[in-house]
Amino acid sequence: MMSAPEFAHVPVMRDEIVALFASVPRGFVLDATLGGAGHAVALLEAHEHLSILGVDRDPNALAAARARLNVYADRVRTSHRRFDDIDGALDDAEVSELSGALFDLGVSSHQFDAPERGFSYRQSAPLDMRMNPMDRGTADDLVNEADESTLARILRDYSDERFAGRIARAIVAARPIHDTVALADIVAAAIPAPARRRGGHPAKRTFQALRIAVNNELEILPTTLDRVIGRTVRGGRVAVLSYHSGEDRIVKERFRFHSTGGCTCPRQLPCGCGAVSTVRLVRTTSTPSDIEVESNPRSASARLRVVEVI
């Protein structure tokens, strides 16, 4: 496993997150994507009334976070699992309810920068992309075994890729593909030249889509948000940092559902269906400052949404 110093974490919108949790009741805040523990440390240092229940599926991240959080041992509990198993994490930690929860979605900087993990298209590595190296199913399996229509659907649904069909055909034609740089070159060649010259690396969306598919990131998000809201006390807050439109759409939809109680009545009329709101919207959406983006370019796509349980 990686040692703690190697797992650096620059927490996105740290000051905003710290401020948002200042008013929540005393108790445990779930850090559902603990990573390098950057947000967790910031919350523990700023708010003495809060403790952290940290969850991460990546054993390397969890080991590094535990080492970093050791100084706060009496206020920290951790669990190695996917965040959709929130009930299991709470049971293991002997925590019955939450004062809040934070989700910092997507791939961590360390995972992206570690070539052997296969998340990056910039360095040659096996096509892995598993957040938990013990899970079954890799990007190599998808790239070399999924049929053309499945690959195209993954690219469209998980990254809004305009050239999904062309890329899927090119991948199938070039099989077998086992290397990240080789895949990136195939993707780039499949995209028309004018499109390759704008919007960053031409393989960025393909790698994002494959990573999401390998780790089932979007499938597990809606029910997880529902469960967390159900386990959070009145006055507690749930905050989500998302980094692409697919994630953000899910967060927006689930937060809207809970803020209206699932009301299906026309908006211009009083509710007549008996729906009961369980949260209020605190932040519909906010983004990092220009100063933060300049110092941490990977924060540029972040979108923060927050609700408070009522």
The class that CATH gives domain 4-106+218-309 is alpha beta
Integer Cα distance of 45 and 64 in angstroms: 18
- Give me the residue spans of the domains in the chain: 4-106+218-309, 133-215
Give the pLDDT of residue 206: 97
Integer Cα distance of 279 and 260 in angstroms: 8
223: which 2 tokens? 């029910």
170: which 2 tokens? 């090119």
- Asked if the model's pLDDT at residue 4 lies above 80, the reply is no
pLDDT, tens digit, 9 for 90 and up, residues 39-82: 999 999 999 999 999 999 999 999 999 999 999 989 999 999 99
Coil, strand, or helix at residue 79?
A: strand
Cβ atoms of residues 225 and 254 within 8 Å: yes
Give the pLDDT of residue 6: 54
**Eight-state DSSP code of residue 288:** -
Beta bridge partners of 31: 54, 102
E-strand ranges in the chain read: 27-31, 50-56, 76-80, 98-104, 232-242, 279-286, 303-309
Contact partners, residue 70, CB within 8 Å, separation at least 6: none
| Residue 149: CB atoms within 10 Å | 10
Integer Cα distance of 308 and 238 in angstroms: 6
- Asked if the model's pLDDT at residue 1 lies above 60, the reply is no
pLDDT, tens digit, 9 for 90 and up, residues 161-210: 999 999 999 999 999 999 999 999 999 999 999 888 777 889 999 999 99
93: which 2 tokens? 């930690």
Q: What is the DSSP string of 250-270?
A: HHHHHHHHHHHTT--S-TTS-
CATH topology of domain 133-215: DNA polymerase; domain 1 (1.10.150)
Integer Cα distance of 8 and 206 in angstroms: 26
Cβ atoms of residues 277 and 261 within 8 Å: yes
Q: What is the pTM of this model?
A: 0.92
